Structure 1
Amino acid sequence: MTTAQIEAGTLTANRQDRIVSGLLLPYGEVGNTNLGKFTVAPGVVTIPADVTVLAANTDHSREHPVARFLTAVDTAAGLVASFVVGKNPEGDALLAEIESDSPTARRNLSVEVADTVIRKGQLLAGKLFGAAFVAKGAFPSASLMAADVGTLPTDPPPAAASGPVVTVEKTSEEFTDENGLTRIRETVTTTTIDGSTTTIDTTTTITDPTTEQDPAVPAATVPNTLAATTATTDRPLSLRDMAGLLFAANQGTLDDTGRKALQANNGASMFAALSDVKFDGTGGLAPTITQPQWIGEAWSALHYRQQVLPLFAHENLTSLTLNGFKWTTKPAGGDWLGNKGNVPSNTLVVAPVTGSADRYAIGHDIAREFVDFNVPGFFESYTAAVTEDYARWADGKVATKVLAGATALAGDALSTLPGATGGTIGSAASAIIDGATALVTAGTLPTFALVATALWKQMVKMPQSNVIGYLNAALGLEEGSLEGFIIRPSASIAAGKVLVGAREAVTVYELPGVPIRVDALDLARGGVDKAAFGYAGVVVNDAAGLQLVTAATV
């Protein structure tokens, strides 16, 4: 199959619609082609019924398509075509290049015609199969008249023994030499089959596209003759060479040397002629024809879990303001002698307790396209994120008010602890014991200890026998066990401190169902309003039940 690349006219571009168009194949003009000069008459080139399956590339690099045919219309002046440029970086670069002022920009079209038949400088047959965006003057052989190629159905079949069969193939490519200069390499391969002898002559011409040179003058000639008396070449055969050898094999005239060349080059030469079709990367088809896998929200290890709020009693909030009382002097009785004697009595004193709930809110005006086009998992993930944000906010509010209402306590010096091996069990464990002892003395059982992060690390790095042994001794209020007593690190606790407390010391009031989510339509701007609201109040019932211990140091 002989392929012709015929230069045509300049093109126009619609950047917004990414459509370029122009005269793809002029009629009645001497065209510059990779095969030489010839003219094309109307109706000679066959146009596929559906041109949208055809692709267009740059500089005839078919493995790098940048556009596809949109239309191909036969007019009196020639074949006019339009193309849709791909929505990718390569297509963007081509559109920008067309609009630029660069003299080397690819503003010209070049048609690709297969199965060409040329006779005496005229194209007699061919089939449209592609196009390329090129800069004018791409073919060094354009100054030569095209040699006769191809076969028409009306041509008589060649006589098998009338003489040698000669075929000519011309190729042209652009490359960069060792000095970084752009060069054009043209290769002319002549294959002659004469009986049992096959002769292949290859002529290579290298030219500089920026200067006017006669491309007919060869720069280097590499002969390659396959005959019964010559050795088989190691050079991979071209597709034309392979065709000649296969023809000789079919006619039964292939000699031993040709047979060896055919066997040695069968895989390499035939497959080397195929264009690469890449999956991804530059020129890959995957970004255009494949569907990516949707994974929704990527999992994050930073989901917040409340550390402080769950440690205390919890009640439902029914009002923004909180009013109550607590005993300053509680009822106190004692022994009674009877016999109508006076019963013990004391003066009762109460103090008012007041407070107010803190308010939380968050909102976003989200484009309704997220609803209309159903982005999977978006709103579910949004709701989870809002819930997490409220939980973090409420936990911070509780921590702030609990620390503000706690009783300050200085920890015992480590050296005075009785029974301490080596004089110390560590600052953290000592502070926990000091706080727990203060609660027990006041008649309240401790239920938790929040430890500053640095102190926590010091404690957990101690031998287990030391920590557990001392804490069991100090907190063994129910059969000598730590069960139910929570010890955890907390970033809310200042460095060097430990908060030891009881669950009943604080009550947290929250509106049921928080955060309360509200949806509304933003009709004026085509949006969906998403909002959430929450309320939380904190009451410190007994400051003695919260001991903020400053840990002793060595």
Structure 2
Amino acid sequence: MTDNNVQIEGGQVLANLEERTISGRLIPFNEEGRTNQGRFTVEPGTVDISEATADPSFLGINTDHIPWQNVGRGMRVWEQADGVYASWSIVRTPAGDAALQDAISPAGKRKRLSAEFGPVVIRAGKLVAGHARLWGSALVPAGAFAGAMVLAADTPDPEPIQTPDPAPAVAEPTGGNTMPEPLAPVAAPAVDPAPVLAPPAPVPVAINGLPAAVVTEPPGVVADDSRQVLAALASLRTNPRDADAMQVLAAIADITMSGTNTLPGANTLRPNWLGKLYQGIPYVREYAQLCNLGTEISAAGKLGMKVVRGTAASPLGPQDGTWVGNKQPINGYRGDSSTVGSLLYRFAVGNDIDRSLYDLPGGWEVVQEFLQLIIEDYLFWSDRLARETILAAAGAPVAAKTYPAIYTTNGTTALGMLIQGILAVRKRKADGRRDQPTFAILNDLAFEQIAYAVGGDQNLPAFITLALSALNVPQSEIGQLGNVIAVNGDNGIIGTPSVTVGSKMGIDFDELAGGPLVIDAIDLARGGIDKATHGYFQTFTKRPESFVTIGTADAWAATTAVVTGQYMKNGAATLQALNAGTTGAAAPTNPAVGANVTDGTVTWKRLA
């Protein structure tokens, strides 16, 4: 799902267990909702539902907006005055059964519908027609609209219950204790003469219609039964200082959960086992998907060529080919070519696991969760390589320009840096070619400034367009900016705001289709099962000119931990860390541009 698509909660659902269907209002009209794209309202006709109405099976339904958790397909999609409605057929799978039971249960969690459509264009708090199309739906725990509609169930009216006239009151004999008179049996409905089974009557029994038998206690004996205890409890609720009630309760023996007079013995009470607990959001790659992520990986890697005017070191832009004619010499210039290859990185983690954890119930759950952590390690490892490749392509940071007061007065210099980076990528390079900016990586300080500057619910690309208009930059210079995705990440500068802007097509990242491989082997001699996870990540930088970092490198500091790709300023030189480590006690001697120098456990490359 892209950042320009929307998830919008529509309403509660009607579920039919026998027919395995779910129906409800998917998109409410003219109600403000809080969506992942901010607050706005949807008016009739602004969301294109033609595909879903033409073939309702096009509209799938999942849980929690997770695409691979699909639980059904559309049966009917239609529009009414108050919104877009739909019905789905739930698949006959464990996940579908769970979703259906969840929808019909009074204590169910996912009883709301949520639409998926985009791209969205918002103006004056309303969705603009002609852009968004409906393409998905989901069952979610909570909706965003207070007026979400619930469809009425088409079920027969319940049979009326006929209640007999109350029996005439029977005078209670005076004196002594009496047993309560049992209730008269309830008459069955006239349409169904089936007999009504009554519970066994208490002993002694009071025959209906006759005075109840009088039961007296022996002289001097007071009945200390449950009625006295309950009456005492009721008295204490209304009058906590009722001495008579306290005397009744004083005779009760104490039973406690722990300490003196405890009832539960050791290990009698068991905790409610919850299994794996919530441990935060699992790692999601932040950098790899910013470039061209694919599966074109091979043992020999990728190799390609570049052809330029002039030389590879000093390429030329388009040349003037004007010729005067009349047998005069024609123009000519030389060309050059070079090859560019990919880099391959390998990942491997293995464990020899006691097979008892596989053979006995309860052990596999722990092993499986641990193996998921290794997969997460691969995602983090490959994403770190993607980040380092992007920063290496960006090269030395470019100093921020002096921006108009519209940015500096509000402390939003990061927005000016973002625009500067976008224009730098769009600018014609030495070979006369432009590049299309598609993403920006903002460090924590810059991202915080952007978050405050855009006003939360406003659309960030639209806000950037307004800022460019205020700068009076000619449209011919701006060109088509496209959809630039701004993400929060580490771009090598920590102490001050900085922005890295790049083009998706400038770098290829490739990995095995389906992710890393999990290899199993049996260790018969020692009763173990070996599991190893192998992954491969290939990087291919095709056009480093399409990446730029705007900002100021941090000053070099002694005994400081740095990460790969981090920039530091050592005197007049700009250095970039080639590995993670700790700087030494004294500043290193700056090498020549392009050369490396060792500093503590860090190897620096001089960029400028």
The TM-score normalised by the length of structure 1 is: 0.45
Of Structure 1 and Structure 2, the greater strand share is in 1
The TM-score normalised by the length of structure 2 is: 0.41
